[in-house]
Amino acid sequence: MCQLLGMNCNVPTDICFSFEGFRRRGGLTDHHRDGWGIAFFEGRGCRLFLDAKATIESPVADLVRHYPIHSTQVIAHIRKATRGRVALENTHPFQRELWGRYWVFAHNGTLEDYAPELSPLYQPVGDTDSERAFCHLLEGLRRAFPDGPKEEGALASTLRRLTADIARHGVFNYLLGNGTTLYAHCSTDLHFVTRQAPFGHAHLVDEDLTVDFSRLTRPDDRVTVIATQPLTDNEAWTRLAAGQLVAFRGGEAVADL
């Protein structure tokens, strides 16, 4: 199974601590050696680092570990190939533009008998079910709101309907973000923790490493981390239910859609 990692914050934050545990699942503490990627939103801009190597051997992962990029939204993925060969074009996250914003998507799971008729609006470049589903979601959103939605609630209900259609085909845990809102959908495995004052210590599951967030944060900071499996063993992670779609904004869950 692939591994998902997301972060949504109210102030730009580096993901070095969470990434330290996460990357070890790419070939060391778990068997996901078929590439990985991470997208950082900085303002309206987005940086997407991709590598078809295992994170544990990847020079790009070393860069991400040592270069504390401050971002308000991060989406990362470690791949265990199930559909589509190991290749850069099949490496998550995927990125497209919609309504003058970048959208980024990463998926964990496998979709069966899933071959939607896609318009030329968004065409997959690789051959994964995941990228197809991403194109399907964006096409559906664009058709529903050609010039962008007037309000967030309308977008959410369309996204919910599109997601339910696709989820009928199999396991569809995903993270979808546009730099402001991060949407997390759970079919089987997705957990999140929200860190805010009073901040405490966190200890990684995958490595004996502890951080004291009270020394690294200001009182108003708020950060939510979302992952396939909890990354720390001494914090209260919330498990999403099957079929649950949650929107995160400003570092916290704002809507259960």
Residues of the shown chain interacting with its own copies in the complex, contacts defined by CB under 8 A: 42-52, 59-60, 63, 66-67, 87-91, 95-97, 99-102, 120-126, 142, 146-147
| 129-144 vs 152-167: helix crossing angle, rounded to 10 | 140
The residue among 100 and 198 lying less far from its own copies, judged by its C-beta, is 100
Q: Confirm if 111 and 124 have CB atoms less than 8 A apart.
A: no
**Alpha carbons within 13 A on the beta-carbon side of 117:** 0
User: CB 76 → its own copies: shortest distance, Å?
Assistant: 15
The residue among 53 and 191 lying less far from its own copies, judged by its C-beta, is 53
User: CB 116 → its own copies: shortest distance, Å?
Assistant: 14
Place of tokens 């909890």: 230
Q: Active-site residue 2, yes or no? A: yes
The residue among 74 and 240 lying less far from its own copies, judged by its C-beta, is 74
Q: Which residue in the list 2, 46, 135, 186 is annotated as catalytic?
A: 2
User: CB 106 → its own copies: shortest distance, Å?
Assistant: 15
Angstrom distance (rounded) from CA 128 to CA 130: 5
Q: Confirm if 78 and 6 have CB atoms less than 8 A apart.
A: no
Residue 183, beta-bridge partner list? 176, 247
- Radius of gyration for the alpha carbons in the chain, expressed in angstroms and rounded: 17
User: CB 124 → its own copies: shortest distance, Å?
Assistant: 6
The residue among 61 and 253 lying less far from its own copies, judged by its C-beta, is 61
* Residues with a known catalytic role: 2
